[in-house]
């Protein structure tokens, strides 16, 4: 074991393989965010955990009742959901990472005490290792990189990206990525030299926005052009595709709540003196389910009409809450781009069409549509309005 690496990153070399053992993430005050997640998780699981215990306690003493068993097991689903933010918070506070290049394949493992989460990255050629810098911004000011919270992202030859390591200083990761790339260069999976590049990609507004000139063949967007005017009609994407899995999650949530409510309302399961607390608990979770379902319907059924000429941009969106119209003069627009909306699905940002005015906050539209569609649409609007993808 070689401990001479920077900042106590331990290295182990076995044949043509290498292992990097990272220490606990040096996040400083950033660990308070992890503590907040743990606190939220504890508050979330307290009520369903108490309900489960009260109903399962007789079962543990040998008194088995079917309704008590069902009524005790169902809240455990909410306990599991509440444990997720607790786990993420504990990982932020105490977690560390292990990175391995083993037999021509990259492995990443998150370690939290005795727990392990090992990920095997795709066995495909890797063209680049990106050091992704987190960014922060205040108001409309320029984004500032947070170099102590950086990550390594692997860019594969087919264009896909996979996160490898996160939450460490840039200088640490540059050293590791530089050494790791030498192993990849000699691998049969890498047809050319693996590059190491520093980028700002984790939520920053300066993410590259290359022009997309070709609309995907499967797209349903309808484009009409006349002289210097373009009009684009955006049809609904559908509940399953347009909601990015939110509709399915809402169905599960409401289904669980329907079973839970039915069991609770049975006379044999009502607890004297505690009905009000349980009614409030059930009502709160039904409100969450209704909110999720409503948001999914809005994402899946919304449409839009966009028109642009040399002097003006107009966007009208129609959803279940009615029609909203926005209009900007070309001189009021600082940039048009496709960028992250702030939501994520499976650790991937949900992209939206963004209009960045010279004064005021950005406006986001069509979050969850096909990413290539949105990048093509942003490209056509930039070409028509003669505005850049980034603030100048």
pLDDT in tens, 256-268: 777 767 766 665 5
Nearest-angstrom CA–CA distance, 194 and 275: 63
- DSSP annotation string for 155-213: EETTS-EEEEEEEE-HHHHHHHHHHHHHHHHTSTT-SSPPEEEEEEEES-TT-------
The answer to whether domain 6-25+95-202 has CATH 2.30.29 is yes
- CA 5 to chain CA centroid, Å, is 32
Q: What is the pLDDT of residues 106-145, one digit of tens each?
A: 899 999 988 898 988 888 788 888 887 776 655 555 556 6
Interacting residues of 359 by C-beta distance below 8 A, sequence separation 6+: 140, 332
b/e code 349-364 from CB counts within 10 Å (16+ = b)? bbbbbbbbeeeeeeee
Grouping H, G, I as helix, E, B as strand and the rest as coil, residue 371 is helix
Provide the CATH number for the domain formed by 222-236+302-385 in this structure: 2.30.29
Q: Sort 163 into a burial class: Cβ within 10 Å, 0-12 / 13-18 / 19+.
A: middle
Q: What angle do CA 48, 49, 55 make, to 5 degrees?
A: 90
- The overall pTM is greater than 0.85: no
Please answer whether residues 244 and 345 qualify as being in contact, where contact means their C-beta atoms are separated by less than 8 angstroms. Answer: yes
Provide the 8-state DSSP code for 65: -
pLDDT along the chain (392 residues), means of 10: 58 88 87 87 80 74 64 74 85 91 88 89 83 65 67 79 86 88 66 66 46 75 84 85 78 77 62 63 84 87 88 89 89 88 68 87 84 87 86 66
DSSP β-bridge partners for residue 385: none
Question: Could you say which DSSP state residue 113 is in?
Answer: T
d(CA 336, CA 238): 26
């Amino acid at each position: 074991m070689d401990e001479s690496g920077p900042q106590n990153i331990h290295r182990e070399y076995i044949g043509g393989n290498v292992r990097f053992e990272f220490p606990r993430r040096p996040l400083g005050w950033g660990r308070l965010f992890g503590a907040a997640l743990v606190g939220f998780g504890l508050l979330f699981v307290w009520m369903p955990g108490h309900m489960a215990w009260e109903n399962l306690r007789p079962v543990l003493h040998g008194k088995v009742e079917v309704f008590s068993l069902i009524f005790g097991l169902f809240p455990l689903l909410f306990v599991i959901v509440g444990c997720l933010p607790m786990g993420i918070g504990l990982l932020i506070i105490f977690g560390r990472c292990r990175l391995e290049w083993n037999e021509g394949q990259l492995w990443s493992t998150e370690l939290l005490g005795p727990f392990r989460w090992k990920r095997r990255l795709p066995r495909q050629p890797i063209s680049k290792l990106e050091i992704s810098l987190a960014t922060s911004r205040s108001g409309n000011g320029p984004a500032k990189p947070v170099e102590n919270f950086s990550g390594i992202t692997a860019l594969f030859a087919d264009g896909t990206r996979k996160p490898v390591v996160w939450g460490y200083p840039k200088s640490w990761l540059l050293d590791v990525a530089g050494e790791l790339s030498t192993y990849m260069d000699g691998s049969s999976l890498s047809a050319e030299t693996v590059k190491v590049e520093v980028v700002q990609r984790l939520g920053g507004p300066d993410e590259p926005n290359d022009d997309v000139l070709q609309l995907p063949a499967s797209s349903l967007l309808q484009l009409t052009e006349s002289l210097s005017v373009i009009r684009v009609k955006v049809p609904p994407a559908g509940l399953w595709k347009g909601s990015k899995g939110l509709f399915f999650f809402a169905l599960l949530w409401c289904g669980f709540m329907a079973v839970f409510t039915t069991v609770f309302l049975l006379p044999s399961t009502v607890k004297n003196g505690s009905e009000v607390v349980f009614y409030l608990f059930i009502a709160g979770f039904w409100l969450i389910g209704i909110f999720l379902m409503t948001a999914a319907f809005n994402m899946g059924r919304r449409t839009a009409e966009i028109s642009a000429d040399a002097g003006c941009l107009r966007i009208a969106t129609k959803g279940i809450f009615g029609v909203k119209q926005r209009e900007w003069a070309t001189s009021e627009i600082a940039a048009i781009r496709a960028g992250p909306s702030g939501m994520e699905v499976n650790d991937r940002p949900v992209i939206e069409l963004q209009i960045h005015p010279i004064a005021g906050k950005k406006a986001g539209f069509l979050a969850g549509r096909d990413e290539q569609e949105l990048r093509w649409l942003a490209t056509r609007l930039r070409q028509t309005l003669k505005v850049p993808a980034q603030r100048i």
